[in-house]
Protein backbone atom coordinates (compact mmCIF):
# COMPACT_ATOMS: atom_id res chain seq x y z
CA UNK A 1 0.00 0.00 0.00
CA UNK A 2 1.38 3.45 -0.91
CA UNK A 3 1.09 6.08 1.79
CA UNK A 4 1.02 9.75 0.93
CA UNK A 5 3.44 10.47 3.76
CA UNK A 6 6.71 8.72 2.90
CA UNK A 7 7.98 9.10 6.47
CA UNK A 8 4.99 7.15 7.80
CA UNK A 9 4.13 10.06 10.09
CA UNK A 10 0.51 10.34 11.25
CA UNK A 11 -1.14 13.70 10.67
CA UNK A 12 -3.84 13.69 13.35
CA UNK A 13 -1.61 12.92 16.35
CA UNK A 14 1.55 14.91 17.06
CA UNK A 15 4.81 13.84 18.76
CA UNK A 16 5.20 17.08 20.75
CA UNK A 17 2.07 16.27 22.76
CA UNK A 18 2.86 12.60 23.23
CA UNK A 19 6.25 12.52 24.90
CA UNK A 20 4.53 10.60 27.70
CA UNK A 21 1.44 9.56 25.69
CA UNK A 22 -0.50 12.60 26.93
CA UNK A 23 -2.84 12.78 23.93
CA UNK A 24 -3.21 9.02 23.76
CA UNK A 25 -4.41 8.89 27.37
CA UNK A 26 -7.01 11.57 26.69
CA UNK A 27 -8.80 9.33 24.22
CA UNK A 28 -8.00 5.96 25.79
CA UNK A 29 -7.91 6.61 29.55
CA UNK A 30 -5.86 3.65 30.70
CA UNK A 31 -2.26 3.19 31.79
CA UNK A 32 -0.51 3.74 28.45
CA UNK A 33 3.29 3.74 28.47
CA UNK A 34 3.79 3.68 24.72
CA UNK A 35 6.36 5.93 23.14
CA UNK A 36 5.09 7.86 20.15
CA UNK A 37 7.71 6.15 17.96
CA UNK A 38 6.28 2.75 18.89
CA UNK A 39 2.83 3.59 17.57
CA UNK A 40 3.69 6.03 14.79
CA UNK A 41 3.59 3.60 11.85
CA UNK A 42 0.35 1.99 13.07
CA UNK A 43 -1.30 5.40 13.44
CA UNK A 44 -0.20 6.39 9.93
CA UNK A 45 -1.42 3.11 8.45
CA UNK A 46 -4.84 3.37 10.12
CA UNK A 47 -5.19 7.00 9.04
CA UNK A 48 -4.60 5.98 5.45
CA UNK A 49 -6.61 2.76 5.52
CA UNK A 50 -9.65 3.73 7.58
CA UNK A 51 -9.88 7.46 8.30
CA UNK A 52 -8.85 8.88 4.93
CA UNK A 53 -11.05 6.32 3.18
CA UNK A 54 -14.02 7.28 5.35
CA UNK A 55 -13.66 11.08 5.21
CA UNK A 56 -12.41 11.34 1.65
CA UNK A 57 -9.15 12.90 0.47
CA UNK A 58 -10.39 16.49 0.60
CA UNK A 59 -11.83 16.47 4.12
CA UNK A 60 -8.94 14.41 5.53
CA UNK A 61 -6.39 16.88 4.13
CA UNK A 62 -8.39 19.81 5.48
CA UNK A 63 -8.55 18.19 8.92
CA UNK A 64 -4.80 17.44 8.93
CA UNK A 65 -4.00 21.04 8.02
CA UNK A 66 -6.29 22.22 10.80
CA UNK A 67 -4.39 20.10 13.35
CA UNK A 68 -1.08 21.43 12.02
CA UNK A 69 -2.23 25.06 12.30
CA UNK A 70 -4.09 24.61 15.62
CA UNK A 71 -2.08 22.09 17.67
CA UNK A 72 -4.05 22.82 20.88
CA UNK A 73 -7.44 22.62 19.11
CA UNK A 74 -9.66 25.65 19.83
CA UNK A 75 -12.91 25.09 21.72
CA UNK A 76 -16.31 25.42 20.07
CA UNK A 77 -14.98 24.70 16.59
CA UNK A 78 -16.71 21.97 14.55
CA UNK A 79 -13.36 20.79 13.20
CA UNK A 80 -11.98 20.46 16.73
CA UNK A 81 -14.93 18.25 17.62
CA UNK A 82 -14.34 16.15 14.53
CA UNK A 83 -10.64 15.76 15.35
CA UNK A 84 -11.50 14.57 18.88
CA UNK A 85 -13.93 12.02 17.49
CA UNK A 86 -11.50 10.75 14.88
CA UNK A 87 -8.71 10.45 17.44
CA UNK A 88 -10.99 8.44 19.74
CA UNK A 89 -11.44 5.84 17.00
CA UNK A 90 -7.92 6.11 15.60
CA UNK A 91 -6.00 5.32 18.80
CA UNK A 92 -8.08 2.18 19.30
CA UNK A 93 -7.64 1.01 15.73
CA UNK A 94 -3.90 1.69 15.79
CA UNK A 95 -3.27 -0.29 18.98
CA UNK A 96 -5.48 -3.12 17.70
CA UNK A 97 -3.72 -3.13 14.34
CA UNK A 98 -0.26 -3.16 15.87
CA UNK A 99 -1.04 -5.20 18.98
CA UNK A 100 1.05 -8.25 18.15
CA UNK A 101 4.04 -6.22 16.94
CA UNK A 102 3.92 -3.88 19.93
CA UNK A 103 3.95 -6.88 22.27
CA UNK A 104 6.92 -8.49 20.52
CA UNK A 105 10.66 -8.02 20.65
CA UNK A 106 12.14 -8.52 17.18
CA UNK A 107 15.89 -9.01 16.90
CA UNK A 108 18.52 -10.86 14.86
CA UNK A 109 18.03 -13.90 17.07
CA UNK A 110 14.27 -14.11 16.46
CA UNK A 111 11.00 -12.85 17.93
CA UNK A 112 10.17 -13.02 21.62
CA UNK A 113 7.66 -11.54 24.07
CA UNK A 114 8.60 -8.22 25.66
CA UNK A 115 6.88 -9.12 28.93
CA UNK A 116 8.08 -11.89 31.24
CA UNK A 117 5.94 -14.99 31.12
CA UNK A 118 4.68 -14.60 34.70
CA UNK A 119 3.48 -11.05 33.92
CA UNK A 120 1.77 -11.78 30.62
CA UNK A 121 -1.98 -11.76 30.25
CA UNK A 122 -3.77 -14.98 29.56
CA UNK A 123 -4.52 -15.62 25.90
CA UNK A 124 -8.26 -15.01 26.35
CA UNK A 125 -7.53 -11.68 28.09
CA UNK A 126 -5.40 -10.51 25.18
CA UNK A 127 -8.07 -11.59 22.70
CA UNK A 128 -10.74 -9.74 24.68
CA UNK A 129 -8.65 -6.55 24.66
CA UNK A 130 -8.00 -6.79 20.91
CA UNK A 131 -11.68 -7.48 20.25
CA UNK A 132 -12.73 -4.52 22.39
CA UNK A 133 -10.29 -2.13 20.67
CA UNK A 134 -11.40 -3.29 17.24
CA UNK A 135 -15.15 -3.11 17.93
CA UNK A 136 -14.99 0.27 19.70
CA UNK A 137 -12.78 1.73 16.99
CA UNK A 138 -14.86 0.62 14.04
CA UNK A 139 -18.21 1.26 15.69
CA UNK A 140 -17.18 4.81 16.58
CA UNK A 141 -16.66 5.51 12.90
CA UNK A 142 -20.46 5.52 12.67
CA UNK A 143 -20.53 8.21 15.37
CA UNK A 144 -18.18 10.25 13.18
CA UNK A 145 -20.43 9.77 10.15
CA UNK A 146 -23.49 10.79 12.16
CA UNK A 147 -21.73 13.97 13.29
CA UNK A 148 -20.77 14.79 9.71
CA UNK A 149 -24.33 14.26 8.50
CA UNK A 150 -25.79 16.43 11.27
CA UNK A 151 -23.26 19.21 10.62
CA UNK A 152 -22.96 18.94 6.86
CA UNK A 153 -22.96 22.72 6.47
CA UNK A 154 -19.61 22.85 8.29
CA UNK A 155 -18.00 20.11 6.21
CA UNK A 156 -18.83 20.63 2.52
CA UNK A 157 -15.69 18.63 1.63
CA UNK A 158 -17.42 15.49 2.86
CA UNK A 159 -19.79 15.62 -0.13
CA UNK A 160 -16.87 14.54 -2.33
CA UNK A 161 -16.04 11.42 -0.30
CA UNK A 162 -16.57 8.02 -1.85
CA UNK A 163 -18.68 7.04 1.15
CA UNK A 164 -21.11 9.92 0.63
CA UNK A 165 -21.28 9.40 -3.13
CA UNK A 166 -21.97 5.67 -2.84
CA UNK A 167 -24.64 6.14 -0.16
CA UNK A 168 -26.66 8.42 -2.41
CA UNK A 169 -27.57 5.31 -4.40
CA UNK A 170 -28.69 3.10 -1.51
CA UNK A 171 -31.74 2.83 0.73
CA UNK A 172 -29.64 1.26 3.53
CA UNK A 173 -27.08 3.99 4.11
CA UNK A 174 -25.60 3.25 7.52
CA UNK A 175 -25.38 0.80 10.38
CA UNK A 176 -28.34 2.38 12.18
CA UNK A 177 -30.71 1.76 9.25
CA UNK A 178 -29.57 -1.85 9.03
CA UNK A 179 -29.97 -2.23 12.79
CA UNK A 180 -33.57 -1.01 12.59
CA UNK A 181 -34.34 -3.98 10.34
CA UNK A 182 -32.14 -6.67 11.88
CA UNK A 183 -30.14 -6.78 15.10
CA UNK A 184 -26.38 -6.76 14.45
CA UNK A 185 -25.50 -5.13 17.81
CA UNK A 186 -24.88 -1.88 15.93
CA UNK A 187 -21.69 -3.41 14.52
CA UNK A 188 -20.17 -1.38 11.73
CA UNK A 189 -18.00 -4.38 10.84
CA UNK A 190 -21.07 -6.47 10.07
CA UNK A 191 -22.62 -3.61 8.10
CA UNK A 192 -19.47 -3.20 6.01
CA UNK A 193 -19.48 -6.91 5.20
CA UNK A 194 -23.11 -6.62 4.10
CA UNK A 195 -22.62 -3.64 1.77
CA UNK A 196 -21.92 -5.73 -1.34
CA UNK A 197 -25.01 -7.86 -0.78
CA UNK A 198 -27.15 -4.80 -0.14
CA UNK A 199 -25.90 -3.32 -3.41
CA UNK A 200 -26.70 -6.49 -5.37
CA UNK A 201 -30.17 -6.81 -3.86
CA UNK A 202 -30.99 -3.19 -4.68
CA UNK A 203 -29.53 -3.13 -8.19
CA UNK A 204 -30.73 -6.54 -9.32
CA UNK A 205 -33.52 -8.10 -7.26
CA UNK A 206 -35.37 -5.02 -6.03
CA UNK A 207 -35.22 -3.14 -9.33
CA UNK A 208 -36.43 -6.29 -11.07
CA UNK A 209 -39.48 -6.22 -8.81
CA UNK A 210 -40.29 -2.49 -8.69
CA UNK A 211 -38.44 -1.00 -11.68
CA UNK A 212 -35.42 1.34 -11.83
CA UNK A 213 -37.49 4.54 -12.09
CA UNK A 214 -39.45 3.80 -8.93
CA UNK A 215 -36.26 2.74 -7.12
CA UNK A 216 -34.60 6.05 -8.04
CA UNK A 217 -37.71 7.87 -6.86
CA UNK A 218 -37.41 6.18 -3.46
CA UNK A 219 -33.75 7.22 -3.15
CA UNK A 220 -34.73 10.88 -2.89
CA UNK A 221 -38.16 10.40 -1.32
CA UNK A 222 -39.23 12.47 1.68
CA UNK A 223 -40.13 9.85 4.25
CA UNK A 224 -42.32 12.33 6.14
CA UNK A 225 -44.67 12.12 3.13
CA UNK A 226 -47.14 9.42 4.12
CA UNK A 227 -47.11 7.74 0.72
CA UNK A 228 -43.39 7.01 1.17
CA UNK A 229 -43.41 6.62 4.94
CA UNK A 230 -45.88 3.74 4.71
CA UNK A 231 -43.80 1.64 2.30
CA UNK A 232 -40.12 2.50 2.84
CA UNK A 233 -39.75 0.64 6.17
CA UNK A 234 -41.07 -2.56 4.58
CA UNK A 235 -38.87 -2.13 1.50
CA UNK A 236 -35.81 -1.59 3.70
CA UNK A 237 -36.67 -4.75 5.62
CA UNK A 238 -36.89 -6.58 2.30
CA UNK A 239 -33.42 -5.36 1.30
CA UNK A 240 -31.85 -6.34 4.62
CA UNK A 241 -33.40 -9.80 4.81
CA UNK A 242 -32.65 -10.54 1.15
CA UNK A 243 -29.04 -9.41 1.70
CA UNK A 244 -28.76 -11.64 4.78
CA UNK A 245 -30.02 -14.58 2.74
CA UNK A 246 -27.41 -13.94 0.07
CA UNK A 247 -24.62 -13.41 2.60
CA UNK A 248 -25.33 -16.60 4.48
CA UNK A 249 -25.69 -18.67 1.36
CA UNK A 250 -22.43 -17.61 -0.24
CA UNK A 251 -20.03 -16.70 2.54
CA UNK A 252 -21.37 -18.40 5.67
CA UNK A 253 -20.17 -15.23 7.39
CA UNK A 254 -23.35 -13.61 8.57
CA UNK A 255 -24.61 -12.19 10.77
CA UNK A 256 -21.30 -11.62 12.60
CA UNK A 257 -18.02 -10.51 11.08
CA UNK A 258 -16.45 -13.77 12.30
CA UNK A 259 -19.09 -16.00 10.81
CA UNK A 260 -22.54 -17.38 11.41
CA UNK A 261 -22.03 -18.81 14.88
CA UNK A 262 -23.77 -20.07 17.97
CA UNK A 263 -22.66 -18.67 21.31
CA UNK A 264 -22.87 -20.74 24.48
CA UNK A 265 -21.84 -19.66 27.98
CA UNK A 266 -19.78 -22.10 30.03
CA UNK A 267 -17.57 -21.96 33.10
CA UNK A 268 -14.65 -21.14 30.78
CA UNK A 269 -16.41 -18.16 29.27
CA UNK A 270 -18.22 -17.69 25.97
CA UNK A 271 -17.60 -20.42 23.42
CA UNK A 272 -18.36 -20.01 19.73
CA UNK A 273 -19.16 -22.92 17.43
CA UNK A 274 -19.73 -22.78 13.66
CA UNK A 275 -23.13 -23.30 12.12
CA UNK A 276 -23.32 -26.33 9.83
CA UNK A 277 -24.55 -26.28 6.24
CA UNK A 278 -28.04 -27.55 7.04
CA UNK A 279 -28.46 -24.79 9.60
CA UNK A 280 -27.11 -22.22 7.16
CA UNK A 281 -29.58 -23.28 4.47
CA UNK A 282 -32.42 -23.24 6.98
CA UNK A 283 -31.53 -19.68 7.98
CA UNK A 284 -31.17 -18.66 4.35
CA UNK A 285 -34.64 -19.95 3.53
CA UNK A 286 -36.14 -18.20 6.54
CA UNK A 287 -34.50 -14.87 5.64
CA UNK A 288 -35.59 -15.15 1.99
CA UNK A 289 -39.17 -15.92 3.03
CA UNK A 290 -39.26 -12.99 5.43
CA UNK A 291 -37.86 -10.70 2.73
CA UNK A 292 -40.65 -11.64 0.31
CA UNK A 293 -43.24 -11.04 3.03
CA UNK A 294 -41.98 -7.52 3.64
CA UNK A 295 -41.92 -6.68 -0.06
CA UNK A 296 -45.42 -8.11 -0.48
CA UNK A 297 -46.62 -5.85 2.35
CA UNK A 298 -45.19 -2.79 0.58
CA UNK A 299 -46.65 -3.80 -2.79
CA UNK A 300 -50.06 -4.37 -1.16
CA UNK A 301 -50.11 -0.74 -0.02
CA UNK A 302 -49.04 0.37 -3.50
CA UNK A 303 -51.80 -1.72 -5.05
CA UNK A 304 -54.39 0.02 -2.87
CA UNK A 305 -53.22 3.49 -3.91
CA UNK A 306 -51.82 3.18 -7.44
CA UNK A 307 -52.21 6.88 -8.22
CA UNK A 308 -49.54 7.65 -5.60
CA UNK A 309 -46.97 5.39 -7.25
CA UNK A 310 -47.14 6.01 -10.98
CA UNK A 311 -43.52 5.00 -11.60
CA UNK A 312 -44.24 1.57 -10.17
CA UNK A 313 -47.53 1.20 -12.03
CA UNK A 314 -45.91 2.20 -15.33
CA UNK A 315 -43.30 -0.48 -14.77
CA UNK A 316 -45.43 -3.32 -13.38
CA UNK A 317 -48.75 -2.72 -15.10
CA UNK A 318 -51.15 -5.43 -14.02
CA UNK A 319 -48.45 -7.78 -12.75
CA UNK A 320 -49.34 -9.62 -9.54
CA UNK A 321 -47.82 -8.42 -6.27
CA UNK A 322 -45.38 -11.32 -6.01
CA UNK A 323 -44.09 -10.68 -9.53
CA UNK A 324 -45.06 -14.18 -10.67
CA UNK A 325 -47.76 -14.73 -13.26
CA UNK A 326 -50.14 -17.46 -12.06
CA UNK A 327 -52.31 -19.21 -14.67
CA UNK A 328 -54.96 -21.84 -14.05
CA UNK A 329 -54.52 -24.49 -16.76
CA UNK A 330 -56.92 -27.01 -15.27
CA UNK A 331 -58.51 -29.16 -18.03
CA UNK A 332 -56.58 -27.30 -20.71
CA UNK A 333 -54.07 -28.66 -23.19
CA UNK A 334 -50.59 -27.14 -23.12
CA UNK A 335 -48.18 -27.30 -26.05
CA UNK A 336 -44.49 -26.58 -25.45
CA UNK A 337 -42.56 -25.43 -28.54
Phi, psi of 269 (to 5 degrees): 115, -160
Pairing of strands 269-274, 110-113: unpaired
Q: At residue 327, does pLDDT exceed 70?
A: no
How much is the pTM? Answer: 0.73
Which pLDDT does position 223 carry in this prediction? Answer: 94
Mean pLDDT of 206-215: 96
Separation between Cα atoms, residue 244 and residue 238, nearest integer Å = 10
Measure CA 187 to chain center.
7
Domain ranges of the chain: 1-167, 169-317
Mean pLDDT of 281-290: 91
pLDDT digit string, tens, across residues 59-99: 999 999 999 999 889 998 999 999 999 999 999 999 999 88
Assess contact for 51 and 86: CB atoms under 8 A: yes
pLDDT digit string, tens, across residues 238-274: 999 999 999 886 555 445 554 444 444 444 444 555 5
- Percentage of the chain lying above the pLDDT 70 cut: 76
Which pLDDT does position 24 carry in this prediction? Answer: 87
Which pLDDT does position 250 carry in this prediction? Answer: 57
Q: Which of 114, 90, 2 is nearest to 40 (CA)?
A: 90
Mean pLDDT of 283-292: 94
Beta-carbon contacts of residue 186 (< 8 Å; ≥ 6 apart): 139, 142, 175, 176, 179
Separation between Cα atoms, residue 117 and residue 114, nearest integer Å = 9
Assess contact for 292 and 286: CB atoms under 8 A: no
Question: Which segment of 177-191, 256-270, 280-294, 311-325 scores lowest on mean pLDDT?
Answer: 256-270
DSSP code at position 121: P
| Helix spans in the chain (H) | 22-27, 36-46, 52-55, 57-69, 78-97, 99-102, 123-150, 162-167, 175-181, 188-200, 207-210, 212-219, 226-229, 232-251, 277-304, 310-316
Which pLDDT does position 189 carry in this prediction? Answer: 81
Handedness of CA 102, 125, 86, 35 (dihedral sign): negative
Amino acid sequence: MRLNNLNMEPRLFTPQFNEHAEEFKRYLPVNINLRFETLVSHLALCEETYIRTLLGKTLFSSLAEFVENHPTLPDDDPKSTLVHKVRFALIRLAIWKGYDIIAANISDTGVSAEVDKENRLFRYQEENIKHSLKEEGFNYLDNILEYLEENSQDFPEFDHSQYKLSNVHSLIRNTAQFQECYNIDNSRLVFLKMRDYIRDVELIELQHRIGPDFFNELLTADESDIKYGTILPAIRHYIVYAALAEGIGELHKMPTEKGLIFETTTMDGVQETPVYRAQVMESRGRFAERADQYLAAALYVIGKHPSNYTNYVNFAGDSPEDGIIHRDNTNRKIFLA
